[in-house]
Chain A
Amino acid sequence: GDSVTQMEGPVTLSEEAFLTINCTYTATGYPSLFWYVQYPGEGLQLLLKATKADDKGSNKGFEATYRKETTSFHLEKGSVQVSDSAVYFCALSAGEYGNKLVFGAGTILRVKS
């Protein structure tokens, strides 16, 4: 079945460091790919998405490119801030109509000042 694998955390960085969180997927067909962010004690917020191969999603300085050849959707940010500390989830669309989401386990990011 469809699945998403994320790099294990926690990832601890100093402020202004470069961030990469790896995400790979297994899917039948051509799913859309998502990154969601969860701040402590809150629900998930959509961070960015990409709907087809080679698409780049971007938001708030975060970027991810849909790589069909490597089945990957790695999240990157050039300079992290303390306020970026959160849990990041990679997900893909699944199901007959593509509106069931399959999530990775999440990666905790901690940014130190």
Chain B
Amino acid sequence: DGGITQSPKYLFRKEGQNVTLSCEQNLNHDAMYWYRQDPGQGLRLIYYSQIVNDFQKGDIAEGYSVSREKKESFPLTVTSAQKNPTAFYLCASSPRMGIETQYFGPGTRLLVL
């Protein structure tokens, strides 16, 4: 089955620690996205990538970093500079630039110890 997988389902971060969230898709989509979801605030765009080896900041990129070395993978690193990382993180993809429908993974919940 084609789809988007995210791992882990739950992730715990200690103060001052960087953590990386995985996102993999086998849909052969060019574009991939990371969103952050907080209660009552909907989803906010962190980073997006239109093509391999290229990515752009979204609305709340501070304290996060990404890479896009392979078409199927778009990992998100939550750095120690992100002071309020507790949230639900959602990865999405779309077939290519200009195709608007996005398909979402199951999400990773990040908690701070």
A61 within 8 A of B: no
The answer to whether residues A44 and B104 also contact, given A97-B98, A99-B31 and a CB cut-off of 8 A, is yes
The answer to whether residues A42 and B107 also contact, given A100-B45, A101-B45 and a CB cut-off of 8 A, is yes
Inter-chain contact A44/B42, CB cutoff 8 Å:
no
Taken together as a complex, chains A and B put the C-alpha atoms of A34 and B58 apart, in Å, by: 20
B-facing residues in A4-63 (Cβ within 8 Å): 4, 32, 34, 36, 41-46, 49, 51
| 0 or 1 for each of B97-112: is its CB under 8 Å from A? (1 = yes) | 1111111111100000
Query: How close is B57's CB to chain A, nearest CB, in angstroms?
Result: 11
A111 within 8 A of B: no
Inter-chain contact A98/B42, CB cutoff 8 Å:
no
Inter-chain contact B90/A43, CB cutoff 8 Å:
yes
B41 within 8 A of A: yes
What residues of chain A lie closer than 8 Å to B44, measured between beta carbons?
103
Inter-chain contact B42/A101, CB cutoff 8 Å:
no
Inter-chain contact A99/B104, CB cutoff 8 Å:
no
Taken together as a complex, chains A and B put the C-alpha atoms of A104 and B41 apart, in Å, by: 8
What residues of chain B lie closer than 8 Å to A104, measured between beta carbons?
42
B94 within 8 A of A: yes
B2 within 8 A of A: no
A-facing residues in B72-113 (Cβ within 8 Å): 90, 92, 94, 97-107
B43 within 8 A of A: yes
B64 within 8 A of A: no
The answer to whether residues A101 and B102 also contact, given A42-B107, A43-B90, A44-B90 and a CB cut-off of 8 A, is yes
Task: Please name 20 further chain A to chain B contacts, defined as beta carbons within 8 Å, in addition to the given A36-B104, A43-B90, A101-B102, sorted by A numbering.
Answer: A43-B4, A43-B6, A43-B106, A44-B43, A44-B104, A46-B103, A49-B100, A49-B101, A51-B100, A93-B100, A97-B97, A97-B98, A98-B98, A98-B100, A99-B98, A100-B45, A101-B33, A101-B43, A101-B45, A106-B42
Please list 10 pairs of residues, one from A and one from B, whose beta carbons are closer than 8 Å in the complex, sorted by A's number.
Answer: A34-B101, A42-B107, A43-B6, A45-B104, A49-B100, A99-B97, A99-B99, A100-B58, A103-B42, A106-B40
